[in-house]
Each structure stands twice: as structure tokens, then as C-alpha cells.
Amino acid sequence: MSNICGSCGANNDSLLTTCLYCESSLVPPKLDQVSDEDLITEGGKWIGRITASHYASAYDESKCIEITENNVNIELSRAEVDSNTNKYISIIQARSLSNPNMKHMLETFKKDIEIAEKKASERVKKDWMQAGGGVGLCLCIYLFVWIVS
Ligand SMILES: [Zn+2]
């Protein structure tokens, strides 16, 4: 399904309510017209972005990621990525009640989000451990110099 922006004419993902390119409001999507295939392909794209976005903003939630869509570079904040991904997740969830394929997709997507969260928190943990190791090494050198002098 196409979701054409009335302002700039760009084609946006089915569930978006704000144009990715010019930030104009889009006509709210008619959910029953969005196909399962579109939900899965577009939802998968947003899951990939959530992975990149959470990793990039592990320290600083205001950190954006840059994506390229139709040769246009777009900055996406973590809030935007989260809210758009959640739109896909909630509709896939609603459809999963009557559709086993969508149920499978929902589980896959949820697992992917869990992995993304884990990667982001491991990034912080790893850096803390490195920082801790650095402090320890400095202390050892200091003690060594103190003992030999
Ligand atoms: Zn637009």
C-alpha cells in the first residue's frame, strides 16, 4: 500500500502518521487495507532501525541514527524509531490472534527487540569494565612506583 505525503509527494511506510522526509502529517492509514506482507517487510525494517538506534543511544537517549531512504538521508531519534516500531508491533499483535503466520512474526520481532536491548546494555557494561580495568592498572603502576622509590 502506498502512503503518499500530501506535502512533498514522498511515499512513506504504511503505518506512519508523519512524513519521514518533510515531517508533514500524513492521512491516518486505513489499517484493514494494509497487507500482512507490508506489515512484515516494513515492520522488519523498523526492527532493524531499533537495533541500530538503541545501540547508538545506549549512553545518550537523544542520539539519532541516520538512514538513507530513496537516496535521502534522514535523521531518526530513538523516540521516533520506538514509536513507529510499536505501531507495527501492535497491529501485528492484533492480527496474530487469528493468523498463525503473524503470531510467528510477532515472536520473531519481539525476540529481535530483546536482542537489541541486550546489545545496547552490553555496550555500556563492556565500556564500564574497560574503564574499571584502566583505573585498576593506573593504581598498580602508582603503587609500584611508590614501592620502588
Ligand atoms: Zn512529506
Per-residue pLDDT tens for 13-68?
999 999 999 999 999 888 999 999 999 999 999 999 999 999 999 999 999 999 99
Distance 69 CA to ligand 1 centre (A): 13
Distance 33 CA to ligand 1 centre (A): 21
Report pTM: 0.83
The closest of 10, 87, 104 to 47, measured between CA atoms, is 87
Residue 113 lies in a domain: yes
Domain that holds residue 130: 31-148
For 67-92, write each residue's pLDDT tens digit.
998 899 999 999 999 999 999 999 99
Q: How many domains does the chain have?
A: 1
**Lowest mean per-residue pLDDT among 15-19, 85-89, 94-98, 121-125:** 121-125
Residue 103 lies in a domain: yes
Residue 124 lies in a domain: yes
Distance 132 CA to ligand 1 centre (A): 47
Distance 9 CA to ligand 1 centre (A): 6
Residue indicated by cell numbers 538512514: 67
Would you give the end-to-end CA distance of the chain in angstroms?
A: 76
Residue 5 lies in a domain: no
Distance 11 CA to ligand 1 centre (A): 8
pLDDT score of 2 more than 80? no
Cα–Cα distance, 107 to 93 (Å, whole number):
9
